[in-house]
Amino acid sequence: MARVLVYYAHPGHKHSHVNRVMARAARAIKRITFVDLYAEYPRFGIDCDREQLLLLEHDVIVFQFPMFWYSTPSLIKEWEDIVLEHGFAYGAGGDKLEGKRMLLAITAAGPSEAYTTDGYQHFPMRTFLTPLEQTARLCRMSFASPYVLYGSLQAPDAGLVEPHVEGYVQLLEAIRDDRYDFEASGTDVTVGFDSLPIREEV
Amino acid sequence: MAEILLLAFLFLIAGVVAVPIASRLGLGSVLGYLLAGIALSPLLTKLGVDVESIQHFAEFGVVMMLFLVGLELEPKMLWEMRARLLGLGGLQVTITAALITGGATLFVDEWSYALTIGLVFALSSTAIVLQTLNEKGLMKSDGGQAGFSVLLFQDIAVIPMLAFIPLLALPELADIAQFFNSVDPSSEAAGGSDGGMSLVEGLPGWQRALVTIGAIAFVVVGGSVLTRPLFRFIAIARLRELFTAVALMGVVGIALLMTLVGLSPALGTFLAGVVLANSEYRHELESDIHPFKGLLLGLFFITVGAAINFDLLFSNLGLVVALTFGVIAIKAAVLYGLSHVFAIRGADRWLFTLGLAQAGEFGFVLINFAVTQKVLPDPAANPLSSLLLLVVAFSMLLTPALFIAFDKLIAPRFANAQTRDADDIDEKGSVIIAGHGRFGGIVNRIISSAGFKTVVLDYQSDQLDVLRAFGIKVFFGDATRPDMLHAAGIEEASMLVIAIDDKEQATELVRHVRGNHPHVYVVVRAVDRRHVYELWAAGARDIIRENFDGAVRAGRSALEALGMHAYDAERQTRGFVVHDQKQMRDLADVYDPDIPVHENPAYVERTKAFIDSYADVMRGNSAAFGARIDRAWQPPTLAVPESPSPRCSATSAA
């Protein structure tokens, strides 16, 4: 069994259509740890010691957030600045996160076609995520293919919220129960609810 | 004297013994009182007590109850209820009266008897139903609200009924009826229009109408204009009991006035209640009248139980039971049908149907009145009226059973249908704020501007006047009194914010609420450090030191002015707050209110440790809190190489 830690960050929680439902579903999953970062640190006073302890107690660190300006909401960045200390997460003696996994669960407003060299976002999704990918690498963690919902603003009308949330739950449960095939997807792709590499049995 | 004391003692002991047992068995207080009355009845007969006259006295409890109901109901809400009040209530009374009249013609030969019986059984029991709904917390449900509309209409409808019944008297008896009209001794208390004294007796119709309208106008205008100066006047004396005296005086006075002009006292006090519902004295009045209402209603239910004529009941058991169930079935059918028309759904429909299916206390009044008016035959000659009284009493006796049936059989079936999305419940119980000074006022502004409902209590009359001038709604009352908290709705409240000045009273209030209302979240203002420990010991966990945040900001401001970068000053003070709160909590755990702190060894030891840690900061020792806040922004080269960071306790803990 893998110990899963979900960090959820959404400053506009109450206006959310997808992330809020995802968060509620994730919170209800048994035997995983769920942290609503903005509820935990409404005044950005992140407690470094507590967060590092939490990281040490888990194997898979999931960040769930909506894409803001091709990056994370600002509290996640603050969290990185404070928690991923030299000597803890990287650098000399910084091996405490070695062997753990990082997984991103992202919603993006643009459609998947936009995230191509010809699309209006001009770069593939994975290009925008390279800072996080490299952060994981520097911390000797492996970076899994992100679980992405494109076109999130249209998702409620398109009936995509329910399958995406359902997929998210299956994904988290599969990781917890060691049924998730982290190696199945490539290094340059993202996965959606219809392409989850979940094994049937352990 | 001894007789009165004996009687009072008997009633009290019967209630004190029977009600807790009944409540424990899930039967509700009303059935408890009724059973107490039944148990008492042989003793009362032996003592030759006139139960009926006690019942008339106790009916005043109904008057008080309607006053309290009015207090809960702002005029705006009453206006919004008008469709249900007139439509639902009117149809219920008319249809039920018609059906039961029709049914009664099969049993009695005179159509006037049948019509009287129809009117009697169209009414339901305001006393039992409202008491039970309140007890079960169902008053605010849709079924409870619909039931309340109907009951209110019935209470108003009693007045025209009392006027109408004498007209039913047989022609040859009309003269005698006229004679009795002026000497009728009964039914002053609840709805009797022809009491001994009257202001309108013998006046021509238009003058009578004028006096009546004048009386109502006096209640409405007087209630809204006189209350404030009156309460301010008695506040000078600073005596608790004066408020109770004024509240009682008001209710009794209005009831008297209404009786004198031939209106229902229940209606009059209800009206006064509605007028005062917007006043800041509402909760004060409520907590003053509440115990009297409870006791009188209890007495009323006991007398209902005691008045059951068991000889007649047993000799006609089959008939009474059959008639009772017949009445309940007809009434329930009408209510059920109306609930479809007025879109009352689910469990509420059944609450409405079963809750109002009994006959009511006004039935006693109407039957007695009809007998004295010769509309119904004399009980000595014909047992009809005694039988009717039995059916009314028996149906009231069965009401708790119907509520139990609702609780056990019907409510569970609909329970699942009402689960809501847990994340979307923003509407919770209200927040009670005790004390509206500089502190409580800001708390109130923040909470209410976020859309939460607040109930603010303050005990300073002059403060209230200032606030009212700015349109801020604050109720007059002392939040440290349990009955006041009750009136302010502590049972339904989700939170209490204690912002009163007196340290000991604040601590006592915390202790009371933690002990008696553990569901209420408490936020409390502490005056100083010692007070924090006392509050902690009393069970408070969300304690706000009133000067702390201000002092922290002043410290930060000073650091900035001393040349520290604003962000460094922010982190420095933030670190201080974390450290100080930890210290506070650690000391609170060892604080003992009974031992002076300097004689408490654990307290002294921990304090010394904290003083040492401050000294470390002064010497620049990095193990103290000051270093922690700089940790994140130290360039990696400054961190100790080769080994885990010495400052990170997490690493060493792992």
Cβ distance A87 to B654 less than 8 Å, yes or no, reads no
Measured between beta carbons, the chain A residues lying within 8 angstroms of B423 are 20, 24
| pLDDT score recorded for residue B596 | 81
- Tokens representing A89? 């997460």
Strand, helix or coil at B38? helix
Cβ distance A96 to B653 less than 8 Å, yes or no, reads no
Cβ distance A24 to B422 less than 8 Å, yes or no, reads yes
Check CB contact of A52 with chain B, cutoff 8 Å: yes
First to last CA, chain A: 10
Q: Which of B151, B193, B185, B113 is nearest to B360 (CA)?
A: B151
Q: Calculate how close chain B gets to A182, using CA atoms only, in Å.
A: 27
Please check whether residue B131 is in contact with residue B30, taking contact to mean a CB–CB distance below 8 angstroms.
Answer: yes
Using pLDDT thresholds of 50, 70 and 90, give the confidence band for residue B558: very high
- Residue B522 main-chain phi, psi, to 5 deg: -115, 125
Nearest residue of chain A to residue B574 (CA atoms): A45
Cβ distance B639 to A49 less than 8 Å, yes or no, reads no
- From the list B633, B639, B653, which residue is nearest A87 (CB)? B639
Measured between beta carbons, the chain A residues lying within 8 angstroms of B644 are 87-88, 93, 96
Cβ distance B648 to A82 less than 8 Å, yes or no, reads no
- From the list A45, A50, A92, which residue is nearest B574 (CB)? A45
Using pLDDT thresholds of 50, 70 and 90, give the confidence band for residue B623: very low
- Tokens representing B173? 């008896």
Measured between beta carbons, the chain A residues lying within 8 angstroms of B653 are 53
| pLDDT score recorded for residue B633 | 67
| pLDDT score recorded for residue B638 | 52
Distance CA B458, CA B394 (A): 46
Measured between beta carbons, the chain B residues lying within 8 angstroms of A52 are 648, 650-651
pLDDT above 90 as % of chain B: 16
Measured between beta carbons, the chain B residues lying within 8 angstroms of A49 are 648-650
Which amino acid is located at A18 in the chain? V
Alpha-helical (H) ranges within B72-141 are 75-80, 82-83, 89-104, 111-122, 126-136
- Residue B105 main-chain phi, psi, to 5 deg: -60, -20
Distance CA A52, CA A58 (A): 10
* Domain range summary for chain A, segments of one domain joined by +: 4-176
Check CB contact of A92 with chain B, cutoff 8 Å: yes
Average pLDDT over residues B410-433: 58
| Helices and strands of chain B, counted as H and E runs | 31, 6
Q: Output b/e per residue, B195-234; b: 16+ Cβ within 10 A.
A: beebebeeeeeeebeebbeebbeebeebbeeebbeebeee
Distance CA B128, CA B133 (A): 8
Mutation site for B-interface testing, chosen from A16, A46, A48, A97 by largest number of B Cβ within 10 Å = A48
- From the list A53, A85, A93, which residue is nearest B642 (CB)? A93
Distance CA B24, CA B11 (A): 20
Measured between beta carbons, the chain A residues lying within 8 angstroms of B639 are 85-87, 91-92
Which of the residue ranges B259-268, B435-444, B508-517 would you say has the lowest mean pLDDT?
A: B259-268
Cβ distance B632 to A56 less than 8 Å, yes or no, reads no
| pLDDT score recorded for residue B599 | 84
First to last CA, chain B: 81
Measured between beta carbons, the chain A residues lying within 8 angstroms of B633 are 81
Q: Given a cut of 50, is residue B422 above it in pLDDT?
A: no
Average pLDDT over residues B42-61: 83
Where does residue B420 fall: left (phi above 0), alpha (psi -120 to 50 degrees), or beta otherwise? beta
Q: Which of B210, B312, B194 is nearest to B259 (CA)?
A: B194
| pLDDT score recorded for residue A57 | 96
- Tokens representing B310? 């068991």
Nearest residue of chain B to residue A95 (CA atoms): B644
Nearest residue of chain A to residue B572 (CA atoms): A45
Q: Calculate how close chain A gets to B651, using CA atoms only, in Å.
A: 7
Q: Does domain A4-176 have CATH number 1.10.510.10?
A: no
Q: Which of B616, B11, B623 is nearest to B304 (CA)?
A: B11
Cβ distance A92 to B574 less than 8 Å, yes or no, reads no
Q: Calculate how close chain A gets to B424, using CA atoms only, in Å.
A: 9
Which of the residue ranges A43-52, A192-201, B111-120, B622-631 would you say has the lowest mean pLDDT?
A: B622-631
- Tokens representing B87? 């439509």
Average pLDDT over residues B29-45: 85
The fold of B431-642 is Rossmann fold (3.40.50)
Please check whether residue B436 is in contact with residue B502, taking contact to mean a CB–CB distance below 8 angstroms.
Answer: no
Q: Calculate how close chain B gets to A178, using CA atoms only, in Å.
A: 24
Distance CA A168, CA A180 (A): 12
pLDDT above 70 as % of chain B: 85
Q: Calculate how close chain A gets to B418, using CA atoms only, in Å.
A: 19
Q: Calculate how close chain A gets to B642, using CA atoms only, in Å.
A: 5
Domain with CATH 3.40.50.720 in chain B: 431-642
Measured between beta carbons, the chain B residues lying within 8 angstroms of A45 are 574, 578
Q: Does domain B15-20+27-411 have CATH number 2.60.120.620?
A: no
Nearest residue of chain B to residue A82 (CA atoms): B632
Using pLDDT thresholds of 50, 70 and 90, give the confidence band for residue B637: low
- Tokens representing B195? 């009491």
DSSP B551-614: HHHHHHHHHHHTT--HHHHHHHHHHHHHHHHHHHHHHHHH--TTS-GGG-HHHHHHHHHHHHHH
Q: Which helix (H) or strand (E) holds A6?
A: strand A4-8
Cβ distance A87 to B422 less than 8 Å, yes or no, reads no
- From the list A48, A56, A92, which residue is nearest B641 (CB)? A92
Q: Calculate how close chain A gets to B545, using CA atoms only, in Å.
A: 19
How many contacts does A have with B, using Cβ atoms within 8 A? 61
The tokens 């304690």 sit on which residue? B543
Q: Kindly report, residue by residue over B65-81, the tens digit of the pLDDT.
A: 888 878 877 778 778 88
CA B159 to chain centre: 27
Please check whether residue B56 is in contact with residue B189, taking contact to mean a CB–CB distance below 8 angstroms.
Answer: yes
Distance CA B465, CA B458 (A): 11
Distance CA B64, CA B149 (A): 18
Check CB contact of A48 with chain B, cutoff 8 Å: yes
Which of the residue ranges B30-44, B142-156, B187-201, B606-620 would you say has the lowest mean pLDDT?
A: B187-201
| pLDDT score recorded for residue B326 | 92
Please check whether residue B522 is in contact with residue B540, taking contact to mean a CB–CB distance below 8 angstroms.
Answer: yes
Nearest residue of chain A to residue B635 (CA atoms): A86
Nearest residue of chain B to residue A55 (CA atoms): B650
| pLDDT score recorded for residue A201 | 67
CA B419 to chain centre: 26
Query: What is the rounded average pLDDT for all residues in chain B?
Result: 80
Distance CA A150, CA B559 (A): 48
Average pLDDT over residues B469-487: 78
Check CB contact of A53 with chain B, cutoff 8 Å: yes
**Whats the size of chain B, residue-wise?**
654
Q: Calculate how close chain A gets to B624, using CA atoms only, in Å.
A: 14
Cβ distance B650 to A87 less than 8 Å, yes or no, reads no
Distance CA B406, CA B354 (A): 7
ipTM of the complex: 0.79
Beta bridge partners of A86: A90
- Tokens representing B640? 């100790």
Using pLDDT thresholds of 50, 70 and 90, give the confidence band for residue B193: very low
Beta-carbon contacts of residue A131 (< 8 Å; ≥ 6 apart):
A71
Beta-carbon contacts of residue B193 (< 8 Å; ≥ 6 apart):
B159, B162, B163, B262, B263, B264
Q: Given a cut of 60, is residue B314 above it in pLDDT?
A: yes
Mutation site for A-interface testing, chosen from B420, B421, B423, B426 by largest number of A Cβ within 10 Å = B423
Check CB contact of A78 with chain B, cutoff 8 Å: no
Measured between beta carbons, the chain A residues lying within 8 angstroms of B553 are none
Q: How large is the angle between the packed helices B384-405 and B111-122, nearest 10 degrees?
A: 30
Measured between beta carbons, the chain A residues lying within 8 angstroms of B649 are 49
Measured between beta carbons, the chain A residues lying within 8 angstroms of B628 are 48
Query: Residues of chain A whose pLDDT is less than 50?
Result: none
Cβ distance A82 to B632 less than 8 Å, yes or no, reads yes
**C-alpha dist (Å) from residue A45 to A21, A38, B541, B545, B579:** 26, 10, 21, 20, 13
Q: Given a cut of 80, is residue B407 above it in pLDDT?
A: yes
Alpha-helical (H) ranges within chain A are 19-27, 37-40, 48-56, 74-83, 125-128, 130-138, 155-158, 161-176
Residue that wins the pLDDT comparison between B82 and A159: A159
